[in-house]
Amino acid sequence: EPTKGKKGKGKDKEAPAGEAEAAEEPAPSKERSYRWVVPANGETSFYVKFGSDVTGKTLAEMAFEVVGGTREIPLVCEGICAVPSINSDPRNVFMTRSKSKSLTTYGKRYISSTGFYDFGPLLSYKDKPEPAEGEGEGGAEAAPEAAAGPAAADK
């Protein structure tokens, strides 16, 4: 049976011990329940859904109390809202880099002294060769993930 409660929205679904990581996030509910029963030495989980129209940090405080108790237990929640950005550090963006342009090497590398990517000789007079079946497109290189932001991203 799901445990009700959480300040605001939603219900929390309990998963068996072995399935804790495989359990999906519960769907938000319109029900607003401000009380739930927690057995002695027990615990309950809840989640808080955060949304903001402005970028920056937002602090909010929720208060919990035990029925029949005399004190309030504060829980400070912090949410970060940021615009996605791309990491522009050449060490993270370009797989092949060199400090200066060399006469022996050419193309497909980032030259840090000039701040430009050297594509090498561009052979515009040749037709693009058709990739063999099952090979995909030719000439493609793997690029690292270059996202950056104030919070860790889920993969």
The pLDDT tens digits for 98-117 are 777 766 666 777 777 777 77
CA 76/CA 80 separation, integer angstroms: 13
pLDDT value at 119 more than 70: yes
Structure token digits, residue 95: 């797989």
pLDDT value at 14 more than 50: no
pLDDT value at 2 more than 60: no
The pLDDT tens digits for 17-42 are 444 444 565 565 555 667 778 888 88
Average pLDDT, the chain: 71
pLDDT value at 55 more than 80: yes
CA 86/CA 57 separation, integer angstroms: 20
